[in-house]
Structure 1
Amino acid sequence: MAKAVILFLRVGVQLLALPIYLLSFLGIWNPFCKKIFFPFFIEKFTATYNQRMSEQKQELFRNLQEFAGPSGELTLLEIGTGTGANFQFYPPGCKLTCTDTDLHFQRGLSRSTAQNQHLQFQRFLVAPGEDLSQVADNSVDAVICTLVLCSVQSIEGVLKEVLRVLRPGGAFYFLEHVAADHSSWSYFWQQVYNPTWKLVFNGCCLTRETWKNLEQAKFSEIKLRHIHAPLYWTPVQSHVIGYAIK
């Protein structure tokens, strides 16, 4: 019965989004989304998200400096940098390498770079999280990934690369929206919205159980918490936050 209701409501949502589905069928939506809509949306969303999640981000990155190498320098690699939403939370003087697959965030990224001169920007790489071949083995102290694993092709592939580039004892920091508890209304609506949400928001999936991938990866230790983000009336309130040590 529940599955039938979900399918019925999905059709209703898809009818409301029919113009986007038609543009997608005609091959127009995807390039428009990547070049114009999604970068514009992310820039606006980032400002709201950072405002509402500032306390959680500050707490998450509070101990980053503890993972600095023997020289005292902290080298960071960020996967899916986007517009640089995390820059303000990183400790002064750390050396940062940024990666993303989308060059259309450049305007917001340039602004964030200019506003965060406390960081040493090393490189900006165009690369998916599943293929960080431009980064050497065991070469970084910490890898950062926030609101990215919802849309990658393979979470397992990303985590495999994270473990490769991290030095022994290095840490992987994550903050990701995930599937809600299966018995909740939140999860019900996530299932309803998910097909259309993925189309509109560039492949973002609402129902991934990312914590399972993190727990199954070959980290020596993981500190993970489930939280409800103050993103009211949205299907992305359920989050996992924490870090894992190689």
Structure 2
Amino acid sequence: MPEPLFFSAVESRRTVRDFLPDPVPQEVLDRCLDAARLAPSSSNLQPWEFVVIRDPKIRQAANAACLDQMPAKTAPLLIALVTRRDTWRRNRDEILRVFESRGPLRPSQAAYYRKIIPTIYTTGPLGILGPVKRLASRAISLFKPTPNLMAREDLRIMAHKSTALAAATFMLALRAEGYDSCPMEGFDPWRVKALLGLPRGAEVNMFLAVGKRSEKGVWWDRVLMPREWAVREI
């Protein structure tokens, strides 16, 4: 039986550190970005933004902010994947608008997005409500299963997890198209936030260098930890 395309993309995806200068066709990039938009996210709030850097001056500054790593300097395309905690109200309202355009809003939909989501995402001035919500949910948890009602740092972690899912989907879509990527966490977060003009509540999750690998693009053979270290049944 031939190997399914998905598993072929997963197996052949590697972190590529040196790229050919060949540009990434716009139609390929668009397909991969649209695939990334299908990634799962907490409450479907999609707290991400892909910033495709085209301006040569911004690209040069971004390369420097990425510590002049080889992937950043050699890739024909550099993308900043941004976590956007600040868009939850806008995205929540759009979800409700789409639901309502499809027919009457179900009570469960209205309750979740109009009551539960604001309760989770509202942390008050200087985040003062966050610790109170966290303690309250922990106390209730002593008596029945209860989700964490989220302090500011919990929301930050949740948004970054969702954004990382979009990044993984994007990288696998690129590989299925015959292109490669390198996710980079080594960068100056303060400089890139100013460079990209990000508002409060937004921060770069990672940079993605994108293109086709050169002959020296993959530096080492893949090493996987033993399966029993990664998988446990109870």
Is the TM value for this pair above 0.5?
Answer: no
The structure with the greater share of residues assigned to strand is 1
TM-score norm. by structure 1 comes to: 0.27
Give the TM-score taking structure 2 as reference length: 0.28
Please identify the structure whose Cα radius of gyration is greater. Answer: 2
Q: Normalized per residue, which structure has more helix? A: 2
